[in-house]
A and B are shown apart, each in its own frame.
Chain A
Amino acid sequence: MTGGALREESNATDSALIARWRAGEQSAATAIVERHAAALTRFAVSLGERTDLDELVQDTFVRAFGALDSFRGESSLRTWLFTILRRLALDRRRAGRRQRGRVEITESDAVTEYSPLDGVVAQETETRVRRAVERLTRMQREVFTLRVTEGLSYKEIADVVGSTEGAARVHYHNAMRSVKEFLDDE
Chain B
Amino acid sequence: MMNDCANADVRDLLPELLHGRLDEATRAGVEAHLAVCADCRAELELLRAAGRALSYPPVAVDVQRIVAALPAPGRARPRRWPRAAAFAALAAGLMTVAVWRRGDERAGTTPGQHVDTGPVVAARPSDSVARPAAGGLVAPGGASDSARTRRGPDRAPTPREDATLLAMGELSDLSADQLESVLAGLDDLDGIPSVEPQALPSPLTSRERLQ
A contact residues vs B (CB 8 Å cutoff): 21-26, 29-30, 33-34, 37-38, 41-42, 45-46, 53-54, 57-58, 61-62, 65-70, 86-87, 90, 117, 120-121, 123, 125-127, 129-130, 133, 137-139, 144-145, 147-151, 153, 162-164, 167, 169, 176-177, 179-180, 183-184
CB-defined contacts of A180 to chain B, threshold 8 Å: 2, 4, 46
When C-beta atoms are compared, the residue in chain B nearest to A34 turns out to be B63
- Verify if B65 is at the interface (C-beta below 8 Å from A): yes
Q: Which segment, of B121-129, B139-147, B165-173, B191-199, faces chain A?
A: B191-199
Chain A binding site: helix, strand, loop or mixed by DSSP?
Answer: helix
Q: List 11 A-B contacts (CB under 8 A).
A: A25-B73, A29-B70, A37-B63, A41-B59, A62-B66, A65-B70, A121-B53, A133-B53, A167-B195, A179-B46, A180-B2
Whether A42 contacts B54 by the Cβ 8 Å rule is yes
Please state if B58 and A42 are interface contacts (CB–CB under 8 Å).
yes
Interface core residue of B54, B59, B62 (most chain A CB under 10 Å): B54
Question: What sequence of 0s and 1s flags, for each residue 180-197 of chain B, a beta carbon within 8 Å of any chain A beta carbon?
Answer: 000000010010111110
Prevailing SS type, chain B contact patch: loop
Q: Which residue in chain B gives the minimum CB-CB distance to A147?
A: B15
Interface centre among A23, A41, A130, A176 (most CB of B within 10 A): A176
Once bound together, how far apart are the Cα atoms of A34 and B47, in whole Å?
A: 25
A150 to B47, CA, bound (A): 12
Chain A residues, Cβ within 8 Å of B6: none
- Interfacial residues, chain B to chain A (CB-CB below 8 A): 1-2, 4, 12, 15-16, 18-19, 21, 43, 46-47, 49-67, 69-71, 73-74, 76-79, 187, 190, 192-196
A184–B194 alpha-carbon span in the complex (Å): 33
> Are the CB atoms of B1 and A184 closer together than 8 Å?
yes
Top 7 closest pairs, chain A to chain B, by CB: A151-B19, A41-B58, A126-B53, A130-B53, A37-B61, A180-B2, A120-B56
Do the beta carbons of A129 and B50 come within 8 Å of each other?
A: yes
**If A53-B59, A65-B76, A162-B190 touch, does A145 touch B1 (CB 8 Å cutoff)?**
no
Measured CB to CB, the closest approach of chain B to A165, in angstroms, equals 12
CA of A179 to CA of B50, assembled, Å = 10
User: Once the chains are docked, how many angstroms separate the CA of A99 from the CA of B118?
Assistant: 56
Contact residue among B51, B56, B76 (Cβ-Cβ distance under 8 Å from A67):
B76
Nearest residue, chain A, Cβ from B55? A149
CA distance A127 to B55 in the complex (A): 12
What is the bound-complex CA distance between A164 and B70, given in angstroms? 32
Alpha-carbon gap, A109 to B79, bound state (A): 43
